Structures are given as C-alpha cells and as structure tokens.
Amino acid sequence: MLTGNIVALITPMLDNGDVDLCSLQGLVEYHIQSNTTALAVLGTTGESCTFEQDEHVEVIKKVLEIAQGRIAIIAGTGSNSTRHAIQISQKLHKLGVAAGLSVTPYYNKPTQEGLYQHYKAITEACDLPQILYNVPSRTGCDMSDEIVVRLAELNAIIGIKDATGDLTRLTRLKPFLPDDFLLYSGDDATGCEFMLQGGSGVISVTSNVAADAMSRMCTFALAGQREQATEINNKLMRLHQDLFVEANPIPVKWACKELSLTATANLRLPLIALDQQYHAQVSAALALAVDA
C-alpha cells in the first residue's frame, strides 16, 4: 500500500535546462534514507508540462535505474489530451512504475462527464494503476465528488490526490469509496489533519526539503497519534505555507539549492528564479523546520 509520505519530486536542472542527473541521483538517495514511501516523479511539481514525451520517459527510466526497487515510483501521466495521457501511461507501464498520477485536463474546461470519459478511456487502453489528481487552483477544472465515486469503480483507478485543502471533501467521499481506495492530500498545510481524519497519506512539496520530518509526521498521523503528529507539523507549518510565496516549484527549488540538495535552483521557462524579496522568508521557514 502506497501510504504515508510521498514526495512530489522536483526535477533538478543544469544551467542549459537539461536534467541534472547527478542531483537527481542525490535526491533519490536522500528520500530512500529519509524513509519516504514513494517518489512522485514528473508531476506538476516536477515541471512535467515542459517535457516532451520521449524526455519524460527517459527521466522516469533513469529514476527507476537509480532506485533499483528500493522505493516505489509513481510517474506523472496526466495531460489535457486524452490521447497523450494514454500514450504516456502505456510507455511508463512497460517500464514498471507503481502507478500513474493523472492530473485533471487543464485549460480545456471539460464537463464532469467529459472528465469521467477521459479517465475511463485511459483505463480501457492501459492497465497501469492511476491516481486521480484534482488541483482546481492550477487547472481551472474541479472534479466533483460524484465523478470520483464513479471513477473509483474502475479497477485501474486506485486513489486520488486532492489538493483543494478542503477537509470536508474527505469526510463526504470516504463513506462511498472502496476501503482500499487511497486518499491523498495534495495540500501540505492541511495534510496532517487529512490523515488524522482517515486519509492515506500526503503527496508533498515540503518533503523535498524536510523528508525525514514529513515521514515521521505521517507515521504518527496514520497511527492516530494526534499529539505527536501535530507537534512535528506545527514546526513545519511555516514551511508548508512559505514554499508557495511564488508559484510551485519556484520556492522549493530555491530551498533545495539552499540546503545543497541540488546544485542549482534552475527552472524551465516560463518559470523563473525566486524573487530576491522572498529569499529571507523561505530561509527563515527552513530554519524553523530544522528541529521538527
């Protein structure tokens, strides 16, 4: 079961925009040593929308080679083109990833029935287990509870990452879903409470820079140990918030460079480096998290 602390992994980059494979290897090792449950590679935090399909596949292949089965790999498979989502799912399924993370189609503004047909078509074309990803603040598309429940009936749909931060959605959905359906928070600020209320884990941006603390917090939260989980989470709360002072993953890539987890803080256009005015703010949040 893919429960607990799953990192929404950044993609480290060289000055020329190519993937920094040396830093990528270091990140994988860092998360293995920190007891992270799984790596969500080339999701939206990984800047997947800037990758051509062949490059996307090669990066996932490289991560699998580095990991050597020591940590589960979830691969970004989402697209606003159903055909493209099918193609990438088929290719990554052959590589042996544990699951796909499939964001709702962005920009197109599909109807709720269109969303259902999108995911149904993917599961009919490929057996790769899929985790739905609902992040309306980024996509302009909000998946309804009714559609989640319908999609959960499809064998290949194994869970959902809900990044709305609305804890009432968890309590509304959970009674209507299979017991083994995975419910992930995609919002670090509410992730601890999400798990305490019955969620399966968190797919975390914060874990990029505080993996050990996030792993311990998730272990306590999943065990229902509120006091211990909350104590750690309170020390991380400033970081949960300040890693979003500019669009993700701008601040977290700067933070990874600040902690020497990566060689650079490079991003691909149209994203640019963290504005100087936020450096002290993010640095202070990192300092508060050290004792978590």
Active-site residues, by number, are: 133, 161
CB 24 within 8 A of CB 253: no
Helix, strand, or coil (residue 162)? strand
* 45 in a known ligand binding site: yes
Q: Spell out where the chain has E strands.
A: 4-8, 38-41, 72-76, 99-103, 130-134, 157-162, 182-185, 201-204
Helix, strand, or coil (residue 152)? coil
DSSP letter for 203, please: E
CA torsion, ordered 158, 163, 169, 173, to nearest 10 deg? 0
CB 27 within 8 A of CB 10: yes
* 203 in a known ligand binding site: yes
Query: What CA–CA distance (Å, rounded) separates 276 from 288?
Result: 20
Nearest residue to 189 (alpha-carbon basis) of 266, 243, 270, 253: 243
Binding residues for pyruvate: 45, 203
Binding residues: 45, 203
